[in-house]
Structure 1
């Protein structure tokens, strides 16, 4: 993807809205292009006009395979799926969407979360892609977007896999005072804050951590709280659903997420990973098993 094309994709409001500087935006964009160049399976890039500005989508997998929509988390982009896409694209036509207002190649528009505008934006994307019904894998903020769409557009999502989804358990704020103190230590402080927020603390994830630090050194994340879905809204989710959360998540209350999903969603399977934080990696196989409808054991409810 050329720099000119990425710039075109970002015209819907100006990069200054979501980055601290033009030079910072350029650094993030250049790294994004590098990672797109390492996409491990054949792909096509689509740029879709929507009411919120242009949306960038990476499409992979057989044209006649069932459709699978991928929605990344806050401060991320399509390339968060590069370790899973080889597995999933063997079975599905995958559509990895850069959510608007995030650190990808879509427009910087950030419609309020307490409105229907993100659902209307996704309507535009899906109409252009020709998708009526589809499965979804989504993480964090993307999980909130997927849940919001499922509640507003019942029947369109056939299977829903969520990693550390927002909007079910409350956002945690206890880690923020330490993060504010660490800001004064420059890049080293940002790196430590990122370790705390994501839970990425092993050498196996050093490159992932480097990329997150690069983004959040230059990027201005959303500051509004994620609206919480009511029990009644969750009870209306009738599709098969997989929810995977990390017990050590410092950003979202994963215990409440697990409890509410088990209590409210009739067709849900919940996995709580005991030693994992907010960033959930290495789940390609469990998610694929769920998507292709292989049996999943339901962990017992613990209190």
Structure 2
């Protein structure tokens, strides 16, 4: 099944993304990487000799999600912003099952293409699930793991789905209110506007995200930091904190924040990890 609702919608979202790339705030290379799941689009920024950092965006998004943060990240790392397959970016539309190791083998191919034996990861939401899956299967390839509102540590909250359906019956105004509540942003936020545009033309993944068991989390041998909104409407942040801390991670909950918020504590963690020698191969 196509991930877009129409060819016209796919073209519109692609053009919006290309507009964002034209405004990318630092020098970049655009690399198209062959993988077992199809071509993968990667933006590379930062000094060639700096520690390697892989960025994985959230669901219904692409690497433009990182644009505001790229100047600070690329000032300290060799950043590889990866468009996740099956999402509205410039990578292949393939959506392998979340069970099994196909996402891990996909990331193996991306890292191998750049000659990276290991790298640090910074990932948000569904990208956090992909990063966690890789880190539990390939701990030797993950130097440090920074997560923002990751999914996969507990069941998604059901209440926000019911509320979204009911609000959707109210038309455009209701949909805007539903999206604002889900991401924890004001209705006037550009993030809400972008998500409404994406939802109009893109088919989100359906079905629950697999939850990582305790045995999998015990394989997180690298330094791990996570930050989540205490008022996240989609993800149980208390469960995220409890389970990751039990696995040895450092976790912060941001009071009053939802599924989307600013802050650079994860950059501080990554910088500290690099200074401690955690990135050494």
Partner Cα separation in structure 2 for residue 224 and residue 132 of structure 1: 33
- For the pair 1:227 / 2:207, whether they are aligned, the reply is no
Map 1:145-156 → 2, pairs under 5 A: 145-156=130-141
- For the pair 1:25 / 2:10, whether they are aligned, the reply is yes
Q: Please tell me whether the aligned partners of residues 171 and 252 of structure 1 are also in contact (alpha carbons under 8 angstroms).
A: yes
Partner Cα separation in structure 2 for residue 51 and residue 182 of structure 1: 40
Could you tell me which runs of 5 or more consecutive residues in structure 2 were left unpaired when the two chains were aligned. 274-281
Output one character per residue of 1:259-288: Cα deviation in whole Å (capped at 9) or x when no partner.
Answer: 11112x22x211001111111x3223x122
1:17 alignment partner, SS class? coil
- Name the residue aligned to 1:141: 126
Could you tell me which runs of 5 or more consecutive residues in structure 1 were left unpaired when the two chains were aligned. 1-15, 295-303
Map 1:148-187 → 2, pairs under 5 A: 148-187=133-172
Q: Please tell me whether the aligned partners of residues 78 and 96 of structure 1 are also in contact (alpha carbons under 8 angstroms).
A: yes
- Name the residue aligned to 1:249: 232
Aligned residues: 274
Output one character per residue of 1:238-279: Cα deviation in whole Å (capped at 9) or x when no partner.
Answer: 21111101111111111101011112x22x211001111111
- For the pair 1:275 / 2:260, whether they are aligned, the reply is no
Residue 228 (structure 1) shift: 0.7
- Name the residue aligned to 2:194: 211
TM-score (norm 1): 0.87
Measured on the aligned residues, the alpha-carbon RMSD in Å equals: 1.5
Residue 202 (structure 1) shift: 6.7
Partner Cα separation in structure 2 for residue 251 and residue 287 of structure 1: 21
- Name the residue aligned to 1:292: 271
TM-score (norm 2): 0.94
Output one character per residue of 1:45-84: Cα deviation in whole Å (capped at 9) or x when no partner.
Answer: 0011111111000100001111000000100100110111
Partner Cα separation in structure 2 for residue 18 and residue 202 of structure 1: 26
Partner Cα separation in structure 1 for residue 47 and residue 187 of structure 2: 35
Q: Give the direction of change, closer, same or farther, for the CA distance of 1:202–1:271 in structure 2 (3 Å limit).
A: farther
- Name the residue aligned to 2:46: 61
- Name the residue aligned to 1:192: 177
